[in-house]
A and B are shown apart, each in its own frame.
Chain A
Amino acid sequence: MDLIPFKDLLFCATAVVMVAAALLTVLAKNILHSAVALICTFFGTAVLYFLLSAEFIAVAQVMVYIGGVVVFVVFTILLTSRLGERVQEISRSRKIVAFVFSLLVAILAFSFLRELGMVLQEQTEDFATLAAIGKRLLSPDETGFLLPFEAISLLLLISLIGAVSIARIPSDDKNEEAK
Protein backbone atom coordinates (compact mmCIF):
# COMPACT_ATOMS: atom_id res chain seq x y z
CA MET A 1 0.00 0.00 0.00
CA ASP A 2 1.34 3.34 -1.02
CA LEU A 3 -1.02 5.24 1.25
CA ILE A 4 0.28 3.96 4.58
CA PRO A 5 3.61 5.92 4.74
CA PHE A 6 1.81 9.05 3.63
CA LYS A 7 -0.71 8.56 6.40
CA ASP A 8 2.06 8.12 8.96
CA LEU A 9 3.79 11.25 7.72
CA LEU A 10 0.58 13.24 7.93
CA PHE A 11 -0.05 11.91 11.42
CA CYS A 12 3.42 12.99 12.58
CA ALA A 13 3.00 16.46 11.10
CA THR A 14 -0.44 16.84 12.69
CA ALA A 15 0.84 15.65 16.06
CA VAL A 16 3.74 18.13 16.02
CA VAL A 17 1.47 21.02 15.06
CA MET A 18 -1.08 20.05 17.73
CA VAL A 19 1.45 19.81 20.54
CA ALA A 20 3.08 23.09 19.50
CA ALA A 21 -0.30 24.84 19.33
CA ALA A 22 -1.34 23.38 22.69
CA LEU A 23 1.90 24.62 24.29
CA LEU A 24 1.28 28.05 22.79
CA THR A 25 -2.27 27.91 24.18
CA VAL A 26 -1.14 27.48 27.78
CA LEU A 27 2.03 29.58 27.59
CA ALA A 28 0.83 32.65 25.70
CA LYS A 29 0.84 35.79 27.85
CA ASN A 30 -2.09 37.36 26.04
CA ILE A 31 -5.30 35.39 26.52
CA LEU A 32 -6.50 36.32 23.02
CA HIS A 33 -3.37 34.74 21.51
CA SER A 34 -4.06 31.58 23.42
CA ALA A 35 -7.61 31.48 22.01
CA VAL A 36 -6.17 31.71 18.49
CA ALA A 37 -3.71 28.89 19.29
CA LEU A 38 -6.69 26.88 20.55
CA ILE A 39 -8.21 27.15 17.07
CA CYS A 40 -5.02 25.60 15.64
CA THR A 41 -5.22 22.75 18.16
CA PHE A 42 -8.86 22.06 17.32
CA PHE A 43 -8.12 22.14 13.61
CA GLY A 44 -5.29 19.65 14.10
CA THR A 45 -7.71 17.44 16.02
CA ALA A 46 -10.13 17.56 13.11
CA VAL A 47 -7.37 16.44 10.74
CA LEU A 48 -6.54 13.62 13.16
CA TYR A 49 -10.20 12.51 13.14
CA PHE A 50 -10.07 12.38 9.36
CA LEU A 51 -6.99 10.16 9.59
CA LEU A 52 -8.85 7.93 12.05
CA SER A 53 -11.69 7.66 9.50
CA ALA A 54 -14.24 9.49 11.63
CA GLU A 55 -15.23 12.06 9.04
CA PHE A 56 -18.49 13.10 10.64
CA ILE A 57 -16.81 13.77 13.99
CA ALA A 58 -14.14 15.80 12.19
CA VAL A 59 -16.77 18.03 10.60
CA ALA A 60 -18.66 18.29 13.89
CA GLN A 61 -15.39 19.25 15.58
CA VAL A 62 -14.81 22.10 13.14
CA MET A 63 -18.40 23.29 13.34
CA VAL A 64 -19.01 23.05 17.09
CA TYR A 65 -15.58 23.80 18.52
CA ILE A 66 -14.07 26.24 16.05
CA GLY A 67 -17.33 27.74 14.86
CA GLY A 68 -19.09 27.76 18.20
CA VAL A 69 -17.03 27.34 21.34
CA VAL A 70 -13.98 29.35 20.29
CA VAL A 71 -16.16 32.18 19.00
CA PHE A 72 -17.92 32.17 22.39
CA VAL A 73 -14.55 32.32 24.11
CA VAL A 74 -13.23 35.14 21.92
CA PHE A 75 -16.40 37.19 22.49
CA THR A 76 -16.13 36.70 26.24
CA ILE A 77 -12.45 37.68 26.20
CA LEU A 78 -13.26 40.84 24.27
CA LEU A 79 -16.12 41.65 26.68
CA THR A 80 -14.11 41.09 29.85
CA SER A 81 -10.59 42.37 29.20
CA ARG A 82 -9.52 45.95 29.05
CA LEU A 83 -7.00 47.15 26.48
CA GLY A 84 -3.50 47.53 27.82
CA GLU A 85 -4.36 45.56 30.93
CA ARG A 86 -1.39 44.33 32.95
CA VAL A 87 -0.82 40.61 32.64
CA GLN A 88 -1.19 38.89 36.00
CA GLU A 89 2.16 37.36 36.80
CA ILE A 90 2.47 33.79 38.06
CA SER A 91 5.05 33.02 40.72
CA ARG A 92 7.93 30.76 39.74
CA SER A 93 7.18 28.22 42.46
CA ARG A 94 3.64 27.78 41.17
CA LYS A 95 4.96 27.18 37.65
CA ILE A 96 7.33 24.53 38.96
CA VAL A 97 4.55 22.81 40.93
CA ALA A 98 2.30 22.82 37.86
CA PHE A 99 5.08 21.42 35.69
CA VAL A 100 5.85 18.62 38.15
CA PHE A 101 2.19 17.75 38.47
CA SER A 102 1.59 17.56 34.73
CA LEU A 103 4.80 15.54 34.37
CA LEU A 104 3.44 13.10 36.98
CA VAL A 105 0.20 12.71 35.05
CA ALA A 106 2.14 12.14 31.83
CA ILE A 107 4.32 9.48 33.48
CA LEU A 108 1.23 7.75 34.88
CA ALA A 109 -0.29 7.72 31.40
CA PHE A 110 2.89 6.39 29.78
CA SER A 111 3.10 3.55 32.30
CA PHE A 112 -0.47 2.63 31.39
CA LEU A 113 0.57 2.67 27.76
CA ARG A 114 3.35 0.18 28.47
CA GLU A 115 0.82 -2.08 30.18
CA LEU A 116 -1.27 -1.96 27.05
CA GLY A 117 1.63 -3.64 25.27
CA MET A 118 0.66 -5.04 21.92
CA VAL A 119 0.61 -3.06 18.73
CA LEU A 120 -2.82 -3.08 17.20
CA GLN A 121 -3.44 -2.81 13.51
CA GLU A 122 -6.15 -0.51 12.35
CA GLN A 123 -9.43 -1.95 11.27
CA THR A 124 -10.17 -1.93 7.61
CA GLU A 125 -13.90 -2.36 7.92
CA ASP A 126 -16.79 -1.15 10.02
CA PHE A 127 -15.89 2.51 9.89
CA ALA A 128 -18.33 4.95 11.33
CA THR A 129 -20.05 6.18 8.20
CA LEU A 130 -22.49 9.05 8.31
CA ALA A 131 -25.40 6.75 7.48
CA ALA A 132 -24.44 4.33 10.25
CA ILE A 133 -24.15 7.13 12.81
CA GLY A 134 -27.52 8.55 11.80
CA LYS A 135 -29.24 5.19 12.05
CA ARG A 136 -27.69 4.38 15.42
CA LEU A 137 -28.58 7.78 16.87
CA LEU A 138 -32.25 7.43 16.13
CA SER A 139 -32.91 3.70 16.32
CA PRO A 140 -35.09 2.73 19.30
CA ASP A 141 -33.74 -0.84 19.64
CA GLU A 142 -31.11 -2.03 22.11
CA THR A 143 -28.00 -0.87 20.24
CA GLY A 144 -29.48 2.50 19.37
CA PHE A 145 -28.93 5.81 21.14
CA LEU A 146 -32.39 7.34 20.91
CA LEU A 147 -32.80 8.06 24.63
CA PRO A 148 -29.32 9.66 25.11
CA PHE A 149 -29.94 11.66 21.94
CA GLU A 150 -33.17 13.10 23.33
CA ALA A 151 -31.54 13.66 26.73
CA ILE A 152 -28.65 15.59 25.19
CA SER A 153 -31.02 17.79 23.18
CA LEU A 154 -32.91 18.56 26.37
CA LEU A 155 -29.59 19.30 28.10
CA LEU A 156 -28.65 21.71 25.30
CA LEU A 157 -31.96 23.54 25.64
CA ILE A 158 -31.67 23.73 29.43
CA SER A 159 -28.09 25.00 29.32
CA LEU A 160 -28.97 27.64 26.74
CA ILE A 161 -31.82 28.94 28.91
CA GLY A 162 -29.55 28.73 31.94
CA ALA A 163 -26.76 30.66 30.22
CA VAL A 164 -29.15 33.43 29.22
CA SER A 165 -30.69 33.69 32.68
CA ILE A 166 -27.26 33.70 34.39
CA ALA A 167 -25.73 36.37 32.13
CA ARG A 168 -28.80 38.62 32.04
CA ILE A 169 -28.84 41.75 34.18
CA PRO A 170 -31.60 41.37 36.81
CA SER A 171 -34.47 43.79 36.26
CA ASP A 172 -34.01 45.45 39.70
CA ASP A 173 -30.45 46.45 38.84
CA LYS A 174 -31.61 47.82 35.54
CA ASN A 175 -34.16 50.06 37.26
CA GLU A 176 -31.52 51.33 39.66
CA GLU A 177 -29.17 52.09 36.80
CA ALA A 178 -31.94 54.02 35.08
CA LYS A 179 -32.43 56.12 38.18
Chain B
Amino acid sequence: MTLQTCLLLAFFLFAIGIYGILTRRNAIGILISMELMLNAANINFIAFAHFRAEDATAGSVFSLFVIAATACEMAIALAIAITVYRRHGHLDVDELRELRDPDV
Protein backbone atom coordinates (compact mmCIF):
# COMPACT_ATOMS: atom_id res chain seq x y z
CA MET B 1 0.00 0.00 0.00
CA THR B 2 1.73 3.13 -1.23
CA LEU B 3 0.52 6.59 -2.13
CA GLN B 4 0.57 5.55 -5.78
CA THR B 5 -1.75 2.59 -5.33
CA CYS B 6 -4.19 4.69 -3.33
CA LEU B 7 -4.22 7.40 -5.99
CA LEU B 8 -4.60 4.74 -8.69
CA LEU B 9 -7.68 3.38 -6.95
CA ALA B 10 -9.11 6.90 -6.57
CA PHE B 11 -8.52 7.67 -10.27
CA PHE B 12 -10.24 4.42 -11.28
CA LEU B 13 -13.26 5.31 -9.17
CA PHE B 14 -13.30 8.82 -10.63
CA ALA B 15 -13.24 7.49 -14.21
CA ILE B 16 -16.04 5.04 -13.40
CA GLY B 17 -18.06 7.93 -11.97
CA ILE B 18 -17.56 9.95 -15.17
CA TYR B 19 -18.77 6.99 -17.24
CA GLY B 20 -21.85 6.78 -15.02
CA ILE B 21 -22.64 10.48 -15.35
CA LEU B 22 -22.43 10.33 -19.13
CA THR B 23 -24.52 7.17 -19.57
CA ARG B 24 -27.31 7.58 -17.04
CA ARG B 25 -30.59 9.12 -18.08
CA ASN B 26 -32.23 9.03 -14.67
CA ALA B 27 -31.38 12.15 -12.67
CA ILE B 28 -30.85 10.12 -9.49
CA GLY B 29 -28.47 7.84 -11.39
CA ILE B 30 -26.41 10.89 -12.28
CA LEU B 31 -26.39 11.99 -8.64
CA ILE B 32 -25.20 8.53 -7.56
CA SER B 33 -22.33 8.66 -10.07
CA MET B 34 -21.45 12.10 -8.77
CA GLU B 35 -21.24 10.68 -5.27
CA LEU B 36 -18.72 8.14 -6.57
CA MET B 37 -16.54 10.94 -7.95
CA LEU B 38 -16.70 12.98 -4.74
CA ASN B 39 -15.77 9.85 -2.83
CA ALA B 40 -12.72 9.37 -5.05
CA ALA B 41 -11.63 12.95 -4.38
CA ASN B 42 -11.97 12.34 -0.66
CA ILE B 43 -9.79 9.23 -0.89
CA ASN B 44 -7.10 11.44 -2.42
CA PHE B 45 -7.29 13.82 0.54
CA ILE B 46 -6.86 11.04 3.07
CA ALA B 47 -4.14 9.28 1.08
CA PHE B 48 -2.04 12.45 0.81
CA ALA B 49 -2.65 13.22 4.48
CA HIS B 50 -1.43 9.76 5.41
CA PHE B 51 1.64 9.50 3.21
CA ARG B 52 2.97 12.98 2.65
CA ALA B 53 1.53 15.67 4.78
CA GLU B 54 3.40 17.41 7.53
CA ASP B 55 0.04 17.93 9.15
CA ALA B 56 -2.17 14.84 8.84
CA THR B 57 -4.88 16.31 11.05
CA ALA B 58 -5.53 19.16 8.63
CA GLY B 59 -6.10 16.65 5.82
CA SER B 60 -8.63 14.75 7.90
CA VAL B 61 -10.44 17.95 8.86
CA PHE B 62 -10.58 18.99 5.23
CA SER B 63 -12.19 15.73 4.16
CA LEU B 64 -14.68 16.15 7.01
CA PHE B 65 -15.71 19.44 5.42
CA VAL B 66 -16.02 17.69 2.06
CA ILE B 67 -18.32 15.09 3.62
CA ALA B 68 -20.50 17.80 5.18
CA ALA B 69 -20.71 19.77 1.93
CA THR B 70 -21.67 16.58 0.07
CA ALA B 71 -24.50 15.93 2.51
CA CYS B 72 -25.81 19.48 1.90
CA GLU B 73 -25.56 19.11 -1.85
CA MET B 74 -27.34 15.76 -1.81
CA ALA B 75 -30.23 17.11 0.29
CA ILE B 76 -30.82 20.01 -2.13
CA ALA B 77 -30.37 17.86 -5.25
CA LEU B 78 -32.82 15.22 -4.09
CA ALA B 79 -35.36 17.89 -3.12
CA ILE B 80 -35.06 19.28 -6.66
CA ALA B 81 -35.45 15.73 -8.05
CA ILE B 82 -38.69 15.27 -6.10
CA THR B 83 -40.03 18.61 -7.33
CA VAL B 84 -39.16 17.76 -10.94
CA TYR B 85 -40.85 14.38 -10.60
CA ARG B 86 -43.97 15.99 -9.16
CA ARG B 87 -44.15 18.42 -12.08
CA HIS B 88 -43.18 16.13 -14.97
CA GLY B 89 -43.95 12.61 -13.79
CA HIS B 90 -40.50 11.33 -14.70
CA LEU B 91 -36.81 12.04 -14.09
CA ASP B 92 -35.47 11.37 -17.58
CA VAL B 93 -32.91 14.13 -18.17
CA ASP B 94 -33.15 13.72 -21.95
CA GLU B 95 -36.79 14.79 -21.79
CA LEU B 96 -36.26 17.78 -19.49
CA ARG B 97 -35.64 20.42 -22.13
CA GLU B 98 -38.03 23.25 -21.32
CA LEU B 99 -35.21 25.79 -21.12
CA ARG B 100 -33.85 24.82 -24.52
CA ASP B 101 -33.91 27.43 -27.26
CA PRO B 102 -36.58 26.15 -29.70
CA ASP B 103 -34.82 27.66 -32.73
CA VAL B 104 -31.63 25.69 -32.29
Contact = CB atoms under 8 A, between A and B. Distances in A.
B91 to A, nearest CB: 6
Interface residues of B, number: 73
B18 A105 contact: yes
A1 to B, nearest CB: 13
11 contacts: A26-B36, A35-B32, A48-B9, A69-B35, A69-B70, A72-B74, A76-B78, A79-B85, A129-B57, A132-B57, A166-B80
A137 B59 CA distance: 12
B20 A72 contact: no
Nearest to B81: A76
Question: DSSP class of B's interface residues: helix, strand, loop or mixed?
Answer: helix
Contacts of B82: 76, 79-80, 167
A25 B12 contact: no
Task: Report the contact-size class of chain A (Cβ under 8 Å from the partner).
Answer: 35 or more
A122 B51 contact: yes
A11 B1 contact: yes
Interface string B44-70: 001101111111111111011101111
A51 B3 CA distance: 12
A94 interface: yes
Interface of B: 1-9, 11-20, 22-26, 28-29, 31-33, 35-36, 39, 42-43, 46-47, 49-61, 63-65, 67-76, 78-83, 85-86, 91-92, 94
Given A123-B56, A133-B60, 8 more contacts: A26-B23, A52-B50, A53-B50, A65-B39, A68-B71, A73-B28, A105-B11, A110-B8
B74 A69 contact: yes
Nearest to B4: A113
Question: DSSP class of A's interface residues: helix, strand, loop or mixed?
Answer: helix
A164 B32 contact: no
A57 B16 contact: no
Given A38-B35, A73-B78, A97-B22, A15 B60 contact: no
Contacts of B13: 18-19, 22, 41
Contacts of A73: 28, 31-32, 35, 74, 78
